[in-house]
Every structure is written in structure tokens, then in C-alpha cells.
Amino acid sequence: MAARILNGTEIGRQIQDELRQEIEELKQAGVTPGLAAVLVGESPASHIYVRNKIRACEALGLYSERLAPPASITTEELIAEIETLNQRPEIDGILVQLPLPPQVEAQRVLQAVDPAKDVDGFHPVNVGALVANRPGLRPCTPAGVMELLRRNGIELKGAQAVVIGRSDIVGKPLALLLLHQHATVTVCHSRTRDLPGVARTADILVAAMGRAAYVTPDFVRPSATVIDVGINRVEDAATAEKLFARHPARLEEFRKKGSALVGDVHPDVVEVAGALTPVPGGVGPLTIAMLMANTVQAARQRRGTGVRAPVAR
């Protein structure tokens, strides 16, 4: 039996519908939450990501603006721009789109963001709050995964969770969020011995290593919940033929478009897992929804209007 598909697009809409009501209440109190997105350079993928985030703000009625410094900007110049945003009262959230150009010290820039406006949840103050399980702004993708699990009724208490990937953006914070919900968590990486064997112990398996179709059916315990955080573009016909050999509809779509998006989980895992997030339409929409939720939360905290949580924080 094929896995139950965990529809992130649908849950993202639910979250945004809940946020609309909260945003309207804030506006009636004279507060319009505001987000500033800082986009440095000409990366096509980064431009798409930022455009989608700005569109989400517009759809919800949030104030938003995009700053686009030149790709030649120095670390000090970019920090100065961030400090200006820190001082602007109408800006509640600051998003610095990564990656930054090689001459810019990304960590210094991220640490220059006011923690109260750090809607990505990357500042050491917010990371510390996450470690201590104290209230704070959480990284958007891990927070979105937690909403996906919660709203689909996936039991976390006592569950064996395996997270493949140890990045500061996804793997580490997600492991902590799962731990705080009483899961037993194992974090794996490229040097983990017998990675497929460790992965097969999981009731909840998260793939977040950035390698297309890396997690194959032999990584997955039958009936496990599999969360695919990766997004990779496949353009090679031979690779597509191999990946989609048992998925004729997806192969036909590849032939029409000349490319396809796949996650870090092989398409054949759908035949083993009990539940699975699709790519696209799984974790991705939730990342943007949680960015909007963080912006609203930051506005409430900064303006002293109290914290109401339409989503689990």
C-alpha cells in the first residue's frame, strides 16, 4: 500500500488563514506587521525565494520591502544596512537571504540582526532559547515540519526520530524541537556508520542533507513517517529514467518539461513508508507560512500586544 501523502500546501494554507484573522486584529489595534528581505547578488534561486516570500506578505496584508544591495557589498556595509533596519519601528522582521557573496562574513551579518526581529531564528539569542526550550523565534523550516507532524496527528512522545543532516538551519534545530516533544532523537550525517541501518530504526525519518534521492527504500522501516526536506532539480534524462522507472506519470512530466524536482528521498520510498511528504508541495510551503507566523509573533512581542499563537511555537 502506498504511503499517506502529507500535504504541506494544504497545511500552509490553514496556517495562513489563521494568520489573516490575527493580522486583521493587529491592524484594528493600529499595528501592521512588517518584514524586510535583504537580497544580495543575482542568484536566480534566491530571487525566486525572496519573491515568493514578498508575495506571501502581500497576500496576507503584511507590510514588506526588499532591499537589494550590490553583490560587491562589504561585510561592514551590509551590517550598516542591517543596523538601519534594526532601528526602523515599522520593520518587525528582518530576513537575510542566504547564501551571501563570498567576501561577506555571513555569521557576522546574521548576528547583527536584532534578535527580536530575527524571523529566521538564526541569532545566537534565539538559538539559545531553542536549546533551553524557552519562548523565542524558531527557524522556519524546522517549525514548519513540527506543524506538519502535529496537524497530521503524528505521535512524537516516545517515538524514535532519526534526522539525517546536521545543518544549523534544519538538522540541529529540528532535532531539538523533536526532543522537546519527547521524541528519542538520533542525528546522522555523512560519517555515520551503517546509515541505512540507523535510519531503519526510525518511526519518524527526516531527510535534510541536500542530496537528490539519497534515502532509498532500504533506509525506511515499513510504515515509518518520512519527512523530505530536500529540494533538488533533475535535468539529466538518464537520471530521470532511473529515478522515475516505477512512476510513469512523473517520468512523463519530466519529458514534457525537461526537468523535475526531487527531494532527498527516492520516489520509490512511497511504497514503503506509512506517511511521506511530497516534493514539491511538502515542507516548502510550510517554511514560508512559518516565516509569516514569525513576523506576526515578532510584531506582537515588539509592540507589547501580547503573544497569541495560531501555530505551535
CA distances from residue 136 to 117, 139, 164 in whole angstroms, order as listed? 11, 10, 25
Closest to 49 in 3D by CA, of 286, 288, 292, 295: 288
- Catalytic choice (53, 118, 172, 181): 53
Concatenate the DSSP letters of all residues of 114-164 into one string: -GGGBTT--SHHHHHHHHTT-S-PPPHHHHHHHHHHHHTT---TT-EEEEE
- Catalytic choice (92, 114, 118, 120): 120
228 is catalytic: no
Q: Is 293 left (phi over 0), alpha (psi -120 to 50) or beta?
A: alpha
3-class SS letters over 239-287: HHHHHCCCCHHHHHHHHHHCCEEECCECHHHHHCCCEECCCCCCCHHHH
- Catalytic choice (16, 97, 181, 297): 97
Q: Fill in the amino acid letter for 71.
A: A
297 is catalytic: no
Q: What one-character DSSP code corresponds to residue 71?
A: T
Q: How far apart are CA 90 and CA 43, in angstroms?
A: 28
8: cell is 504541506
256 is catalytic: no
Active site residues: 53, 97, 120
